[in-house]
Structure 1
């Protein structure tokens, strides 16, 4: 990289993906570049060629990305420029992780001038005061959230603006039935309110217990009584506005589907089950008939396409260490990664602390735990895409807008290429 002038460094913004090996998904180690221009770790490429000697179209030394290569094994040389970039990136990442050097602590005063204070007593007083202040603040937040929760939809248009949640504004006195698609759409915002309220009440309960407040069991009884009172209220119009809510999947049951993987798009690194609902990292390059729609990296679309209406499906991710789940148009470039194009959206898990969402080529970090089963809700009438962690209590992971000039397909990406890793589309009862 050339500097603007001698002694001046030009800042360059790189992400880990820019310097990663598509085979191991880690930073390049002793990078080697093939004649086609694609670069990999030397050992990763060597191991891949040894374990997958079948190659592609009779070429045993094919590039894992573009599938091109000479008939004779090429000489692999280290790319010094890439290695230098990787070393600098790794050093910068370590410095950022370490943070600034701590300032030296001031020298203690002479013992003769100080009256020692019992440290445990000081900490106890400080903690008690903080807990009391937090309890008061949480109590205020609970009251505010409850007041928002009891407002009827459509009569308080500022509700979601206050919470930063987008929903369909309804200025009329239109009646909502329990089977209405608009009810399900609005329930997403109400679900967030209930989740916020639930978390706040748990925090308040724990704070009470820490400084001798109301016993935990008594607090639970009061909460249960409030729920019973809400269930008998005549204003209980929405199931997740006032009443206990069943699994989110039951709300989406009218739109539940079980899509199947498309063999014309699946990468040769992957293979599917007989029912086309499980995709697995293959132990060797799998042969599929030539197709212009086939991905060159470990991705696959589903055969089903959607241009209108609402759809919901679930994906079991428990048996895949690194994955991405989302939607994409059929026109998505086959050498591009899911979420890194203007016509694909996804959430991806690359390990603890590496959970994110990609929309309009922008990354959003998700500070949440691993979702074992992901529910995907696509509402093309409102142009919304939402991802849920599906368990006993559903949790919204991420929500965004989608817009595409062509139909959208369920899309998947399996990272790491560890043989045996797989994703499964669940068979839902529709």
Structure 2
């Protein structure tokens, strides 16, 4: 019984039929270039006396003198019992095309006799086939090892470049900070000397114009210059991170095997940080007065616009340049929006969203029935706060009515949903929570976290923080 099952698996896994006659191989030969195999009689008739012809499958050229017996196929075909072959022959004969005739049917008696398999040779051929398969396995292992070694070297080169760039950047920042410190300390020493000469100082300053006496100090100018340099470096590093993320998530996504990029999307990388730095830059987690109500929410792959990429264990959404490989869904948004899988109908719930990586976004809640083309905050059952970078404007939206909020762009937004009180509040999260706006919600239907992203901002992204209950 086990042998029959194994044979059935073998037949299901391997195609042991000739593409010309559609029957089991008879004296199979392998073409030298493309490696396709055919019955010797079939390929001989295909050549029609010509010494050079094209492969019937791929049209690659070959010469008749270069054909080689395919002993592996011979051994495999001869493992199939004769009754199975006859049954398969009857089945295939029903759907055989008019031009396809069995090799034995079109062979002369001499050819049939010549093509008859000598059963006494089977052990020898089987042993040879096993040896060839072992050789193929060994070669495959060697080639895989070689490729792994080359890939390891390539990734090491990339990591070395990034680490070297990191080291040089940190060294540059340290040098600039020391230079600014020396300037400020020099200014302090000069002022200390001047303090000891109040008479001379009064005499000198009495002749200066009034506005020149209160001109910005050198230390202030130095600090501003240093801040500008450091901010420029910080922006460049963030831009590099976004571009690298774009390459991994989009450009080479089809060439690389699929992976979860959770670690890549954390605010810091754990691979090169010291313990002190890692403590200063932890994974983005919720830690606020609302932590006791924190919920783990994740993006719904059936409710995301096709040109938004979802990564980092469904916690990060990013504007993409091409459609994602999503399953068809009747609920998929037709605009640059996404909803979460989780819904809430009772109790208190809280989540946080990192917004610093996008210059156009909306964070809010919506009822499940929001239309595929309805923008967040423009309907009866959706509420949000929205930032538009080009306008430098933060607003609250509901029922297509805008409330201007005189606040700077939040780098992180907290959403607190109190369903007993029927309110939803939005907070700007820094060292503490600052209330941005509170809506009264007039629905008893379950509400879902919902988000909008400015579709023209390539690589703009929103990231949901991990819940960290107290």
For the criterion TM > 0.5, the same-fold answer is no
Higher helix share: 2
Considering only CA atoms, is the larger Rg found in Structure 1 or Structure 2? 2
With normalisation by structure 1, the TM-score equals 0.42
TM-score by length of 2: 0.38
Q: Which fold has the larger relative contact order, with Cα–Cα distance below 8 Å and residues 6 or more apart in sequence?
A: 1
